[in-house]
Amino acid sequence: MNGVTPMQGALLAFVAYASLAFGDALIKGIGSRLSVFEIGFFAACSGTLAILFMRPGGERWSDFFRLRHPWLVQARCATGLGAGLLGVYAFTTIPFAEAYTLIFLAPFVVILLSILLLGERVGWVGWLAVAAGLLGALLVIRPGVKALEWGHLAAFGVAMLSGMTVIILRRIAGAERRISLLGMPYFYAVILFGLAMIPDFRTPSPVEFALMAGAGLLSASGQLALLTAAKYAPASVVGQAQYSQLLWAVLIGAVIYAEYPDALAIAGLAVIAAAGILNVLRSRRIAAPPAAIR
């Protein structure tokens, strides 16, 4: 990877976000017969196997638990696991594009948390991005016109927890090893989700098992690709590439699941993407980890 150019890094970012989107699409395809804990467990097992072959160069497995900020790393794991479970519930209960709409409020949650917890100044451009993001979400969801379900609340919970994850990573990403930040959430997921799924365990069908395994592999591959893309491409470019997931959400929902957003919903998605890109341009000097890490 020594010869990777910034342009290739940017293309890798688009590939990474496509991988994450298709991983989420496989989760949706599993349906709700299995518990969220069981889906999370098997996807985490698959992701863990992928991580074993994706150790970043120069890092050793023996240093996996050598943490400089142990409590913040545990907090990052907690927010990531919570976002993962809520994401499974959202994707399996509400339309794909609507789930992504609420999840993509995460960058705007980061702005608000940056003010409250880090004392950062936002300025009028940042507040404009927040207002536009909320407007876009309202155009897609339209509360009062369309029925709100628990899946919508779960997707918003993903946005909140993903925003918290970004704030934590801003504090520790430069000090902790990438293998710890990437692999430890999978380590916890296998143990905790494995125990939690026991009471309601149902034997997965071959198709369900394949979908969970594929989702885990795509998620782990996407996360590693993001780490590589961020190394070679500017943070602002990687951040803008994230909004390609909204396009994937519409295409996957329409082609695979016959979920067709109307004109207002498409306009709302466009507003969210524009607001997100505006926010990325505003904060191009802040090396924030992608909100997709959850």
Which tens digit of pLDDT belongs to each residue from 154-166? 999 999 998 898 8
Whether 291 is in a domain gets the answer: no
Whether 22 is in a domain gets the answer: yes
Whether 292 is in a domain gets the answer: no
Segments forming the whole domain that contains residue 256: 6-282
Q: What one-character-per-residue DSSP string does the chain give?
A: -TT--HHHHHHHHHHHHHHHHHHHHHHHHH-SSS-HHHHHHHHHHHHHHHHHT-PPTT--GGGTT--SSHHHHHHHHHHHHHHHHHHHHHHHHS-HHHHHHHHTTHHHHHHHHHHHHH----HHHHHHHHHHHHHHHHHHH-BTTB---HHHHHHHHHHHHHHHHHHHHHHHTTTS-HHHHHHHHHHHHHHHHHHHTSTT--PPPHHHHHHHHHHHHHHHHHHHHHHHHHHHS-HHHHHHHTTHHHHHHHHHHHHTT-----HHHHHHHHHHHHHHHHHHHHTTTS-PPPTT--
pLDDT computed for residue 85 by the predictor: 94
Which tens digit of pLDDT belongs to each residue from 62-75? 788 889 999 999 99
Residues of the chain with pLDDT under 70: 1-4, 54-57, 144-145, 235-236, 281-294
Whether 288 is in a domain gets the answer: no
Q: Tell me how many domains the chain contains.
A: 1
Whether 293 is in a domain gets the answer: no
Model pTM score: 0.84
Whether 49 is in a domain gets the answer: yes
pLDDT computed for residue 75 by the predictor: 94
Whether 191 is in a domain gets the answer: yes
Whether 75 is in a domain gets the answer: yes
